[in-house]
Structure formats: C-alpha cells, structure tokens
Amino acid sequence: MVSNFHMPPVGYGPGSQPEDETLEYMPMPQDMRTFSAHFPEVEDAEGLAPAMTLMARVADAADRVAGGGKPERFDLTPLDTANRRLIAETMGEGEVAMKIRGLPAIRAQESVFAGIWVLNGAGLDAIEVASAPSDARSRAFEPHRRATGDKPGMGVVNAPALLVELQDKSATYAATRELHVVNLTLLPHTEGDLAWLDARLGEGSTDILSRGYGNCRVTATALPHVWRVQFFNSMDTLILDTFEVTDMPEVALAAAEDLSDSAGRLREVLEAIR
C-alpha cells in the first residue's frame, strides 16, 4: 500500500531560513541644528548704543521683508571695533553659508536669525535682511567656468536628453516661473553622463552650503535658472542628487515666517542685553 504522506521539501517552513540576517538601510541624517539664543555681556551700554540701534533697525527690517518688502542692507563700516564685535557676537552663525565669486567676491553667512545675513568682501562689511542675499541671486549664473560645446563621447548615454530638457526649462522659466526638478538619483546614468553634463552646463558664481539634517550643497550652473542640488547624510554620503530650474532653491531661502520669527527673537536678545 502506498502512503499518501510526503516529506516537505527541504528549505521551506519555520526555522528553515537563517535568522541572523538584518535589513540594512543607508544611514540617514540624525542631527539638526536648532536656534539657541545667545546673550552677549555688555559693560559699556552707552558706548555700544550705535550697535544696539542698528540691530533694532535690522529687526524692524525683518518685519518689513517678511511682509513682502524688498531686501534691506545695513553698512557696518562706520562702527568702531567694539560695536562691530557686539554685532558679530549677537548675530552668530546659522545654517546657511554662501560664496559669491567674481568681483567683488562676497562671503554671505546667515546669522542665527534666519533671513539676516552677514556679508563680507573687499570694501564690504554689512548686514542684509532678505530671504537670500541679493547678490547671490543677481550674480548666480555669471560664468565662473564657462560651458563647453563638447559632443557626447564614450560613456555618455542619457545626458544629452537631460541637457535638452534643462535647456528647454531654462529658456521658458522667466515666463512660467515654474519649478522643474530632474532627479538624477532616480534616473539611470553613468559617470560619463555626469562629467559631460558638468562640462556642458558650466559653473555659475554662487555656491551654497546648508547645514540642517546633514549637508545640502547647492551650486549655480552657467545656464540661467539651473542649479545642482545635492543632499548628503551625516556620513557625507550622497543621498539625493538633483538639478532644479528655479530662481533660488528653496533649501537656501528664509521663509516669511522665519523672518518674522527672527525679528521677534532679535528684539528679545536686545532687550536682554540692555
């Protein structure tokens, strides 16, 4: 008599698979910079009145810009060393730093008050209140490294189609004001594609580093309105690589709410150190 019982196939059922395997994910950013008020110690309040007055005007400007007003700039060169020191100590350093190349070269550092920027360069020592420094916008696409006319070579596969797409969106952006994103992380491409695109797009004059969760590096190309935006985790591993067609990538901008908050926070600090 033949039995209907059959042994189960080997390798199936509970306990048949190894249990020590774990699903591993790419490390994601973990640390986030947050606002922390700093209250400088003031001994000579009368001698530092110019700095206090100027910072009060900066707070008022932040309210105006938050309400839709134009960027406002405040010259620090008339102030003496002590007054400048108080302003530097009060402003501190925030998340976003910008390098604007060309003549004059400008370093723009966001203060701990979002939307309030400290500008330094040849003959320039100022504070600007804006969503982003005006020079970072107006000079962004001035070529620091001009685009080439190189034809696609070996290893260039998908880049020509991406270049046509970016050129088309660049040409129509002024009329449409429509944000367009090309996500390289999700698209097939080769190292040759990236090198050829880099050469064909050139490099503009504005470089940006934003430090929130991990780092975000933003570089203007020499093609108007086209930016390279790259996100890195805390291990400095590239986790998102994009091109954005826009006036200025949102990651570098201070929102109206940020500027309004900055106005209130700056007034609180000024009140505390009076």
Give 246-257 pLDDT, tens digit per residue: 999 999 999 999
Report in angstroms the alpha-carbon separations of 238 from 21, 98, 183, 250. Answer: 26, 20, 13, 19
Torsion of CA 80, 85, 90, 93, to 10 degrees: 120
What pLDDT does residue 39 have? 62
What's phi and psi for 127, nearest 5 deg? -115, 135
Taking only the tens place, the pLDDT of each residue in 145-193 is: 999 999 999 999 999 999 999 999 999 999 999 999 999 999 999 999 9
* Burial of 226: CB neighbours in 10 Å, binned 0-12, 13-18, 19+: buried
Place of tokens 């996500």: 183
Taking only the tens place, the pLDDT of each residue in 24-75 is: 544 544 444 454 556 666 666 788 999 999 999 999 999 999 999 999 999 9
Quick one: which H or E segment has residue 127? strand 124-129
Give yes or no for a contact between 49 and 56, defined as CB atoms under 8 angstroms apart.
no
Contacts 24+ apart (CB under 8 A), 119-128: 119/73, 125/75, 125/76, 125/77, 125/84, 126/73, 126/74, 126/75, 126/76, 126/77, 127/54, 127/58, 127/73, 127/74, 127/76, 127/87, 127/91, 128/71, 128/72, 128/73, 128/74
Closest alpha carbon to 215 in 186, 239, 190, 245:
239
Beta 124-129 vs 206-212: how paired, if at all? unpaired
Taking only the tens place, the pLDDT of each residue in 92-123 is: 999 999 999 998 999 999 999 999 999 999 99
Q: How far apart are CA 81 and CA 125, in angstroms?
A: 12
Quick one: which H or E segment has residue 59? helix 49-66
Superfamily of chain region 159-252:
HupH hydrogenase expression protein, C-terminal domain (3.30.1370.140)
106, β-bridge pairs: 100, 121
Q: Where in the chain is the domain with CATH 3.30.1370.140?
A: 49-131+254-273, 159-252
Question: Which fold would CATH assign to domain 49-131+254-273?
Answer: Ribosomal Protein S8; Chain: A, domain 1 (3.30.1370)
Q: How far apart are CA 93 and CA 90, in angstroms?
A: 9
Using the Cα atoms of residue 201, residue 206, residue 207 and residue 209 in order, give the sign of their dihedral. negative
Report field, pTM of the whole predicted structure over 0.85 = no
Other CB atoms within 10 A of residue 85 CB: 14
Q: How far apart are CA 214 and CA 267, in angstroms?
A: 30
Note the Cα 269 to chain centre separation in Å.
Answer: 26
What pLDDT does residue 9 have? 53
